[in-house]
Structure 1
Amino acid sequence: MPITIDFFKKYFLTYTSDKVRYEHHTELALDNRDLESFIQKLTININAVSYADQYKKTINSFENLFDCSSFQAEHYFYNNALKVIKDLAIQNMVENRRISKREFLEKIDNKKLLFNEWFVALKGKKQFLAELRKEYFTTLNSSHFERFFLIEIDESNYLRSSLKELLFLISRKWSNLSRRAPIPFCPYVYIHNIPAL
């Protein structure tokens, strides 16, 4: 049985809360042509899998995709997925509501960023920076490879003297320009958002 516009308005778009009647189609300024266009694209499968089964299947998919526990799948990946979908759904332009599977999975898997934020909150910024130094900057000038440093400037608290000090430190610790070195090397530095003089 096809859904009529009146049936759709009455049973899907109208409700009462605290004795006040709400009509979504009126609030959204939708006319009958808009509703008819939507109804033509709407399919309702009364034999579809239950919500609980769909939810369980989604959690299992996250477990398999990210090789994680059901707790992580439910409380981390599923919540991230809902946020990504919500952010896309509120976009006005159709092209802004599209996303590839790869982009979607990348957006919901941001554990490293979350870990860094929680680590700073739990242990403090000083210890977090010490951990970063230990992980990335303990062995210096260990090989003749050229390295790339990408630095983003926060214009709200930018100090030219601090940047100069950082560049000097990078140059001193990550280059070897000695004539006695068999293969001299020095790093490449890219500075993003640096203010004009």
Structure 2
Amino acid sequence: MDRNQVYECWISKCAIGSLREFTNVSSMKWRLISRDFLFSTSYLEDMKVMWRFDSNQESISFIKNRFYWDDCFSSMGKWSFSDTAKSRLAWINIMGVPLLFWNDAFFLKVGQILGEPVVIEGNTKQRNRLDKGRIMVLIPFGHHIPNKISVMEGVNMFSLEVEEDLTPVTRSRLDGFLGLTTTVSKEGGDVFLALEKK
């Protein structure tokens, strides 16, 4: 088997889904497990998740049966050459937030100015640290985060300092947030769950 055949072999068993929003998909995974699907998952890019199945038949059945994925995904299909990374996830530090407006809605508004908000960091949500807030955003490749932004809240205009946190968005953190950390496979005829290698 040549290199292209090996490549086509594994990719032909994959499905690519576009998330409706960044949300945990573990309930959907358990639905598949209960129907004896064998699969693993990975965040691909943007709002896309790759589903790898043991067989092409399982992949096709999964794609055709919207019952499995319609609550979390807007679309599901076979991999195509256009499925390449066009965006990236970044942690953004936000300084100068007035305490009166320290809430999820305000941080989501800031996230929308910078890109597409994904998640507000736990310490920010719980107000454990008030010198800066932190939010994960999805931004196009090549897009740079400005040093300052202005945010209007009611009749008040605020100038905030923002910086991209160079701490990488790790796969384990992202997969945990999306509920992508379990793999289902067969070993000795028994179905078992195992953590994916990071």
TM-score normalised to structure 2 length:
0.21
Which structure is higher in RCO with an 8 Å CA cutoff and minimum separation 6? 2
Higher-Rg structure is 1
